[in-house]
Amino acid sequence: FGSTRGMWPGRAGALPAAIGALCRALPPGSRPAPETFRLAKFNRPEAVRAGEAGTDPPDGYCTQIRFVKSVLRYHGYGRPEFYQLPSDGSQGSRELLLAFSWLLNRINLLEQLLTANRVKIGDEASVCTVSRFFCLSSPSHQLDVDVRYLQWLNGRLRFKWRSLHVDRQEQCKLLHKIHSYTSGCHMDQTIGHFSVTETDLIRQPDSYKQLLQLLESETSRLEAFLEWKQLEPVYWHWMVKSRERTLPDEREFCAAVRTITEAVKLKLSDLKYHCAHKKNGMHGSYRLVFKDKRSEPITNVNATEVISKLQMEEATLKRELKRLQEECRHKLDEIAEGLVGVICIPPIKR
Amino acid sequence: MKGKPNCGSISRLVSILSQALEDCAEQKKKLEYNLTLCRALLGDWKVQTPESPKPENSPKGDQESEPSPKELEDLELLNRALEKALRVRKSTPRNPLEALGAAEGKKAAEKKPATSAVRTQQAPLSKESVPKTIKVTSVCKKAASSKKLSAYMLKAPYRTDPVKAPTSQSSRAPKVAGKSSTKGAALQQARKTVLTASVSQQEFCAAAEPSGSPRSPLQQSSSSFGGSASGENSVAVILQGVDPENDCPGSLAKSPVTQSHTAGDIPMGSITARTFTLQEKRSLLKLPLPYRKAYSRNSRLWEKCHLCQSSSATAAARSRFLERMQATFCSSAPAFSPAEIEEEMIVLRDAHSLLSQYMEAETTGHPTWEREYECLLTLEGLQDAASQCLHKLQLLRAAAESQMVVHPADCVHSVEPSAADCAPIRGRRCGDTGVLATPLLFYSSFQELRDMAALKLQVVMLHQQIDIQKVLIAELLPILESWLPRDDSPSHLYRAVYTQLCEGGERFPVLMNDELPD
């Protein structure tokens, strides 16, 4: 960890420009002033209060610090000094700066925020079917519950799904109508027709003034992002320089290296596994476009592909569910044999 | 526990089901909102005028709207102008008064063109807003040459004879013989009589032309109103001149017709206050200019951002920073961060499903030794893969536990972010491929869209069902199994559990007493 002073021929003004671009690329609600960065480097207390970018719970400052800590913990940030910061925000702006920069680097924070906060003007169709895990934490207290309550909950759930299906089908009908009625009107030839939002924009232009503003603000954020990408190296070099101050312990260093190597090995093995078993890779949100003739663009996707993938997945899942149910049947048959004086006749297969 | 089908501690199951129900309710709410909007868009649009914003979705046709005070004012002026015109005309006797028939606009083109022309024209002219008049002017100019009408008689337009709607609006016969009702009815009528009115006005104007002598006084009176059109359109000019807003005939730009269509371009054939549907006006709609500009700038930039690649210098600087940071991390930190644990769990879940599939494929019959050998080798490979997964799982579990130890408060996700932009930070995103892409999903028919939607819903529901099933197995089976020694007929419980576990809650088994009847 020798000194890197003088290695980076800093351009005058490049750093402030980089930091400025970074700030402007962040969402408007959580945007620190560029000056905050400089203050933070010198660990000035007032920089702490200027807020952590990208995270914005509405509650008090204590909650905010706690929230930031939990986010970083979630992503595996391991600097003990950071977690030891007091919750009142009286100190630690440098640690916050480090943490923010780490997050920015590690999870491509800017790109994530830009994509997540994207102004929605199209009819969104999400293709991803990865369902999140339900909260599987052990419950705080035990409940004594009647099994009929379970049955009732289950029945309600099934009913809700059916009603959701009906609504969704109706939505498809209406969407298709709107798409076909407005085909040929959109200035973007690739898309060709209006979305619901755009059609409503024509019908009630006054209700959508905010949309226009959001669109414009997003555009300027994108411009700032492009600037930032140009000037990024300057920022990282500056950050590395600011890291030099504390040199880690030699032993700690070795342990750290070991940890990293192991983690990397595991990751690579996972990668090898992934290479053998290809995973279905359509994620995220798409804009729905009605187009009579088929088209084969690169980043775009056809409904036929989606349908066949979904059909395969549906078949897989149905098989798995059946398998689980069969297992249960076997187990329950065994239990039935243990019941005295009772015979169980399973329901007739449909 | 007695015969009551009590379940014991299954709170995890209950919480999962409740959560699933909440998710469904949320989705439904969003869907309903969207549906309402779609229906509104496909229904009738009422064109908005800047002065008088009308309520949306007013049904076409049979609406009675009160004329606004401004319209009444115009009406008043119009009436006075016509009065004057009448007096002027009366002073120059021409053909005898032809009785004005009862029927109006319907027969306007047929029987007494002139009179009914006047009649029909009166209604719209007297009550209509300006653009109509202007249109009249322009129409008149075109039809100026036709001279088919020889005689006509003006009936006092300001008299409140009930005016029947010229088209199929017969139901609108006004009950009260008051000015307002006429206005109302006529307004109503006006909305429907574009074609008829303009036709009749042509004739009216044409009729106005041959009147040589009254021309000058009319012109005089027109000049008093500041009209500036040619003599052929004298009356029209008067009417036009009366309008306080428009002094020049050609000021189409100021007319509410175009004003009302700031948002979309609508062909000039329609009246201001008419409703229309998306279906009718389809390809004539255009997005407003500011939006178009903003949209194209925006999409250009997204393209640029998507294509923008990090330079190698950047990559090097970034990784150097990460290495430095990593070196300062606590060495006793767990091997996996919670984010990584979640991601790995999804991978493992899919891997498990995949392995099960492969397993099933191998349990089919093995007629030949080749097949048997193949099966053996496959199973060995599967076992290998399975043990790898198990190993990974152990590591993940260890990491999760150490996370719990170090930061217990966090592991139950107690600090729930409310802002939407925290979703990526918390890892609810799935897959980070093409982070800045602008993906479009093309569908080519209504059936495709429907199938896709149905399948999507089905797949998500199946995922949920499987998760629930696993928890059911974990929580319900042990209860049943622990009941075995007892024999106080747990049949209700058995039946309920059987239904949930084996039939997805849809069908019930039949339990029979195993007793031989005497």
Taking CB atoms and an 8 Å limit, are B491 and A339 in contact across chains?
yes
pLDDT tens for each residue of chain B, 518 residues long: 333 445 555 777 888 888 899 999 999 999 999 999 999 988 887 765 444 333 343 333 333 445 556 666 777 777 787 788 778 777 765 444 443 333 333 343 344 444 444 444 444 444 444 434 333 333 334 433 444 433 334 344 444 444 444 444 333 333 433 344 444 444 444 444 434 433 444 444 333 344 434 444 434 443 443 333 333 333 333 333 333 333 333 333 333 333 333 344 444 333 445 577 767 676 677 888 888 899 999 989 988 888 887 788 888 889 989 988 888 887 777 788 888 888 888 888 888 888 888 888 877 777 888 788 888 888 888 898 999 999 999 999 998 888 777 666 554 443 333 333 334 444 444 445 456 666 788 898 999 999 999 999 999 999 889 888 988 888 888 877 776 655 565 677 788 888 888 888 888 888 777 776 66
* CA diameter of chain A: 91
Instruction: Name residues whose C-beta falls within 8 Å of residue B503's C-beta, 6 or more positions apart in sequence.
Output: A325, A347, B509
Query: Is residue A289 a contact partner of residue A189, using CB atoms and an 8 Å limit?
Result: no
Strands (DSSP E) contained in chain A are: 124-126, 144-146, 285-290, 301-302, 342-345
Most B-contacting residue of A201, A320, A348 (CB-CB within 10 A), to test interface = A320
Between B161 and A319, name the one with better pLDDT: A319
Closest listed residue to residue B10, CA positions, set A152, A158, A141:
A141
Contact criterion met (CB < 8 Å) for A157 and B20:
yes
The pLDDT of A338-345, averaged and rounded, is: 76
Tokens 């619901």, residue? A196
- Cβ–Cβ below 8 Å for A310 and B6: no
Q: Taking all residues of chain A, what is their mean pLDDT, rounded to a whole number?
A: 77
CB-nearest to A75 from B28, B339, B462 is B339
Helices B491-502 and B446-483: crossing angle, nearest 10°?
150
Beta bridge partners of B277: B44
DSSP character for A189? T
Residue A120: CB atoms within 10 Å: 13
B6 contacts A346? CB cut-off 8 A: no
- Measure Cα distances from B162 to A22, B188, B422, B431 in Å: 72, 13, 67, 71
Q: Look at residue B71 in the predicted model and tell me its pLDDT.
A: 66
Give Cα separations from A52 to A56, A66, A71, A99, A181 (angstroms). Answer: 8, 11, 12, 10, 47
What pLDDT shows up at residue B42?
A: 87
Q: How far is A184 from chain B (nearest CA, A)?
A: 6
Inter-chain CB proximity B282 and A182 less than 8 Å: yes
Rounded CA separation B102/B111 (Å): 11
B45–A203 CB contact, under 8 Å: yes
- From chain A, the residues in CB contact with B354 under 8 A are 277
Q: Which two tokens stand for residue B253?
A: 């730009």
Residue of A199, A254, A296, A319 for testing the chain B interface, max B β-carbons within 10 Å = A199
Suggest the residue from A74, A275, A293, A316 to mutate for an interface test with chain B (most B CBs closer than 10 A).
Answer: A74
CB contact under 8 A, B449 and A341: no
The nearest alpha carbon in chain B to A306 belongs to B452
Domain boundaries, chain A: 14-118+214-246, 124-131+142-210
Instruction: Note the pLDDT of residue B267.
Output: 40
Chain B: closest CA distance from residue A279 (Å): 8
A-chain CB neighbours of B15 within 8 Å are 134-135, 139
pLDDT grade for A159, boundaries at 50, 70 and 90:
very high
How many CB atoms within 10 Å of residue A265? 10
User: A-chain residues within 8 Å CB-CB of B307?
Assistant: none
The partner residue sitting opposite B333, judged by closest CB among A78, A300, A335, is A78
CB contact (8 A) between residue B453 and residue A106: no
Mutate to test the interface with A, among B442, B452, B467, B512 (most CBs of A within 10 A): B442
Decide if A174 and B321 are in contact by the 8 Å CB cutoff.
no
CB–CB of B326 and A260 under 8 A? yes
- Chain A, nearest residue to B476 by Cα: A147
Contacts A–B by Cβ distance under 8 A? 570
What would the DSSP string read from start to end of A74-136? HTT---HHHHTS-TT-SS-HHHHHHHHHHHHHHTTHHHHHHHHT----S-EEE---PPPPP--
| pLDDT value at residue A296 | 55
Report CB contact under 8 Å: A169, B304.
no
Q: Taking the model in full, what pTM does it have?
A: 0.60
- Residues of chain B found within 8 Å of residue A184, distances taken between Cβ atoms: 283
B372: distance to nearest CA of chain A, Å?
23
Q: Do B12 and A138 touch (CB under 8 A)?
A: yes
Asked whether the beta carbons of residue B501 and residue A173 sit closer than 8 angstroms, the reply is no
Binary contact (A240, B320; C-beta < 8 A): yes
Lookup: tokens for B186: 């006529």
Nearest residue in B to A78, CA atom: B329
Q: Which amino acid belongs to residue A111?
A: E
The band of A3, judged by pLDDT with boundaries at 50, 70 and 90, is very low
Contact A259 B494 (CB under 8 A): no
Residue of chain A whose alpha carbon sits nearest to that of B433: A283
Separation between Cα atoms, residue B370 and residue B276, nearest integer Å: 73
Which residue, B242, B207, B230, B267, is CA-closest to B71? Answer: B242
Question: For A175, which of B429, B430, B449 is closest by C-beta distance?
Answer: B449
Mean pLDDT, to the nearest integer, of A11-19?
A: 77
